Amino acid sequence: MNENNRSSSGNSPDRNPQKRNTAARSSMPPAINGKAGNSAQPHKKKKRKKNKVLMVIKKFFSIILTTIMSLFLIMIITGTIVATALTVYVLDFMEETTGVTFQELEQSYDTVFYATDKETGEYVNLQTIKTGGT
């Protein structure tokens, strides 16, 4: 497409800056001294002098906060590694089974009867009853 086709179609804006109608687009009222609102000189922003003490404090707290966050993330990663290792250990430990069951265990109980000796006041074994086992 050439320049004539674009400008005649009406769909695309005119690319030639000399043909533009800036007065119709300007929505700013004229300034007090009579110049238009879109003056050639842009407004200069005033640069504030930053307080050096404030900048040092801000930098200090930034470093402290970064350090604390780094330590926190290191603790989270370390905790995750320890939890994973512990889980693997427990799962491996659970896989080791023994061939001993409660039914195979030999249970034996002893029942002991004591009495107090009237002369010495000490306990004396009267009778021991052995049940089960050897």
Q: How many residues are present in the chain? A: 134
Residue 15 to residue 5: CA distance in whole angstroms: 12
**Which residue in 131, 127, 85 sits closest to 108, CA to CA?**
131
Q: Above 80 in pLDDT, residue 30?
A: no
- Over range 51-67, report the average pLDDT: 94
Band of residue 102 on the pLDDT scale cut at 50, 70, 90: low
DSSP 8-state assignment for residue 134: -
Mean per-residue pLDDT, 121-134: 82
Contacts of 26 (CB under 8 A, 6+ apart): 36, 37, 38
pLDDT band for 131, please (50, 70, 90 cuts).
confident
127 membership: H or E segment, kind and range:
strand 123-131
Say which residue, 55 or 41, is predicted with more confidence. Answer: 55
Which helix (H) or strand (E) is 83 found in, with range?
Answer: helix 52-95
- CA dist 15 and 6 (Å) reads 9
